[in-house]
Amino acid sequence: MQLQQLLNCIDISTPEGYRDQAIVLTLLDTALRVSELVNIRLDDLWLEEGLIKVMGKGGKERFVPIGKSIQRILWRYMNKYRAEPAITNCDFLFLTADGRALTRDRIDKKMSHYGEKASIQGVRCSPHTLHHTAAVMWVRNGGDVFSLQQILGHSTLDIVRTYVNLAQNDIEAAHRIHSPADNLEIKTPRVRRVRK
């Protein structure tokens, strides 16, 4: 799977690599937009509760749940790998190696670099792609669209429908392969020729 290829090419033995893995997995687990991710501050993390406070489009605040693995990864990142801030009040979660806040462009370039390194073909490797992947995986894994709507921060289901439609295509393709009736040896009647 391309996602596994992407994760496998990140060297997590370095502070920068561990941070990058934390970014990719946080994007995947939360379906955040990259603009939302770069604006997460330390006070926005409620790790014990498994939540991140996010300021979304239009200044709408929401709480996005995170899984246990992301809780552990973010805790470890903050306590072991996060760079010292370059300026006193820099409380952004994700920092560069020299202690400055990461930007959207920098994360885009990082994702593109890792996509090339992982030899990912046929899809653009970007935070936006992870946003879509997270939403589709949510539906594929049995998540409901109303929860997904809240996680994504959409006021209506219109945009969420695109993810459901993508997942519906998966279901139809799987059915073509795994159809119970199509995988049986069904007898067909022999056509008798009527003599005239």
195 occurs within a structural domain: no
Place of tokens 């209506």: 156
Structural domain boundaries, residue 75: 2-178
187 occurs within a structural domain: no
What 147-152 contacts at long range (C-beta under 8 Å, 24+ apart), as own/partner pairs, is 148/31, 150/62, 151/30, 151/31, 151/64, 151/65, 152/31
3-state secondary structure of 45: strand
Number of domains in the chain: 1
65 occurs within a structural domain: yes
190 occurs within a structural domain: no
Q: Assign residue 75 the CATH number of its domain.
A: 1.10.443.10
| pLDDT tens, residue by residue, 33-73 | 899 999 999 999 999 999 999 887 777 888 888 989 999 99
92 occurs within a structural domain: yes
| pLDDT tens, residue by residue, 114-137 | 999 999 988 889 888 887 788 877
